[in-house]
């Protein structure tokens, strides 16, 4: 059976990124906004760590088949947030499509959005068609369909392409439900998100605790706190492991993992 595989983090420079990535990575010379965890094959799920010093663009993603075979539904688990840090999900109140068109021209869209204060440990589910933005001062783990199709509605005057003609017609015009309410499923385990694109649990483990999770062909374990051993190989916070075959996960210290898999 194949051994667990530690996915390789690829650090990507972004205008809204950071020069301080501790404790996840060494501090870079240029602002890094994203770490993409990549395998040597195309997995249906992509994991990123996102580091922000400024607001990201106001954007929306299509659903499967709307701009290629794979759309982009995603979730965010907040790892760190400075006081006052916010994210935008949906609108403060329902808007008409005509008003959204006009708001993208004037910049009012920024004020129409529902900016929500966030703190470490919270989870937010962002289905395709949800208008959203990540604010400054946040570190989060993003779990998403393995797709990079993004339409920007507003970018605060930055000289980047805007995709209003594609974004506005498919944007959900309603109010987002807000933070996920975790569902306890076993001692130390909570289901955070269940969708047709991925299922994600939060797993808390005590020192020395051992788990052998049920098998899924695309199953990723994201270590967000502590250290452990995955299939006999040491792992630490900031690492993502793909378990292509059944493998034992053991905590060396108090540890937290996001366990995510493709349910197809």
pLDDT tens digit sequence for 43-58: 999 999 999 999 999 9
State whether 56 and 163 are in the same domain.
yes
pTM of the shown model: 0.97
CATH number at residue 198: 2.60.120.10
- Cα 47 → chain centroid: 7
CA distance 127 to 62: 9
Is 143 found in the same domain as 77?
yes
Residue 22 lies inside a defined structural domain of this protein: no
Same domain, 81 and 147: yes
**Percent of the chain at pLDDT exceeding 90:** 97
| Parallel, antiparallel or unpaired: strands 210-211 and 219-225 | unpaired
d(CA 71, CA 129): 10
- Are 61 and 133 a contacting pair, CB within 8 Å? no
Question: Which pLDDT score, from 0 to 100, does residue 1 have?
Answer: 73
Please state the domain count of the chain.
2
Angstrom distance (rounded) from CA 242 to CA 9:
13
Region 118-145 average pLDDT? 98
* Structure confidence at residue 117 (pLDDT): 98
């006009």: which residue's tokens? 102
Closest CA to 226 of 210, 212, 205, 245: 205
Domain membership flag for residue 7 = no
- pLDDT (tens digit, 9 = 90+) per residue, 182-202? 999 999 999 999 999 999 999
Residue 235 shares a structural domain with residue 193: yes
Which of 182-205 are b and which e, b meaning 16 or more Cβ less than 10 Å from the residue's Cβ? beeeeebbbbbbeeebbbbbbbbb
Which one of 170, 198, 213 terminates a domain? 170
Round the average pLDDT of the chain to a whole number and report it.
97
158 lies in the same domain as 212: no
Q: Is residue 134 located within the same domain as residue 56?
A: yes
Query: Would you state the pLDDT for residue 82?
Result: 98
Residues 165 and 56 in one domain: yes
* Distance (Å, whole) CA 218 – CA 234: 20
pLDDT of residue 264: 82
What residue has token string 């916070």?
237
Q: What percent of the chain has pLDDT over 70?
A: 100
Residue 75 belongs to what domain range?
Answer: 52-170
Average the pLDDT over 67-74 and give the result.
94
**Are residues 131 and 206 both part of a single domain?**
no
pLDDT at 138 over 90: yes
Q: Per-residue pLDDT tens for 210-232?
A: 999 999 999 999 999 999 999 99
pLDDT of 209 reads 98
């Amino acid at each position: 059976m194949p051994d667990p595989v530690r996915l390789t983090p690829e650090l990507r420079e972004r205008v809204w990124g950071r020069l301080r990535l501790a404790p996840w990575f060494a501090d870079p010379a240029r602002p890094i906004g994203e770490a993409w965890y990549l395998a040597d094959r195309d997995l249906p799920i992509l994991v990123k760590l996102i580091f922000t010093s400024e607001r990201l663009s106001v954007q929306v993603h299509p659903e499967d088949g709307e701009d290629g075979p794979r759309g982009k539904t995603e979730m965010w688990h907040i790892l760190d947030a400075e006081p006052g840090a916010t994210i935008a999900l949906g609108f403060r109140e329902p808007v008409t499509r005509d008003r959204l068109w006009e708001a993208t021209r004037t910049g009012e869209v920024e004020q129409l959005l529902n900016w929500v204060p966030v703190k470490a440990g919270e989870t937010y589910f962002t289905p395709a068609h949800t208008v959203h933005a990540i604010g400054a001062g946040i570190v989060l783990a993003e779990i998403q369909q393995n797709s990079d199709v993004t339409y920007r509605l507003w970018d605060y005057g930055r000289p980047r392409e805007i995709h209003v003609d594609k974004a506005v017609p498919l944007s959900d015009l309603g109010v987002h439900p807000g933070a996920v309410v975790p569902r306890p499923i076993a001692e130390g385990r909570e289901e955070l998100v269940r969708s047709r694109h991925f299922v994600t649990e939060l797993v808390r483990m005590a020192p020395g605790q051992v788990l052998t999770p049920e098998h899924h062909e695309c199953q990723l374990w994201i270590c967000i706190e502590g250290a452990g051993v995955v299939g006999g190989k040491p792992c630490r916070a900031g690492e993502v492991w793909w378990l292509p075959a059944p493998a034992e996960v053991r905590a060396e210290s108090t540890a937290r993992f996001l366990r995510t898999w493709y349910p197809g």
